[in-house]
Amino acid sequence: MADDVFKALSDPTRRTILDELTERNGQTLFEICARLATKHGLGSSRQAISQHLAVLEAAGLVRTRREGRRKFHDPTPEPLEQIVTRWLRPRTPETGP
């Protein structure tokens, strides 16, 4: 799972999408595209942003939910928390490396 997370985070556009979702979760694709264009000057197509969201979702960093015909995207911190815990938890002889 960590490899998927690192791959997803390796792209600056995906990191910007996560920043936007963290600032305001529950956005539709249209809203994300609009925020990326106005705040960051990113003129990517809706299809390109949709593909970035698919990579983020496959890595577990974004969760989607449908309400009627609308699809909302929410950030999920669990994969990042697992990575932080893996390398930053205290080491003791009992827990090992």
Does the pLDDT of residue 95 top 60, yes or no? no
pTM (predicted TM-score): 0.84
75 pLDDT higher than 70: yes
Domains along the sequence of the chain with CATH:
2-88 (1.10.10.10)
Structure-token match 């985070």, residue found:
9
Contact assessment for residue 5 and residue 31, using Cβ atoms and an 8 Å cutoff:
no
pLDDT at position 94: 63
**pLDDT grade, residue 96 (50/70/90)?**
low
Please write the tens of the pLDDT for every residue from 20-65. 999 999 999 999 999 999 999 998 999 999 999 999 999 999 999 9
C-alpha atoms less than 13 angstroms from C-alpha of 7 in its C-beta half-sphere: 13
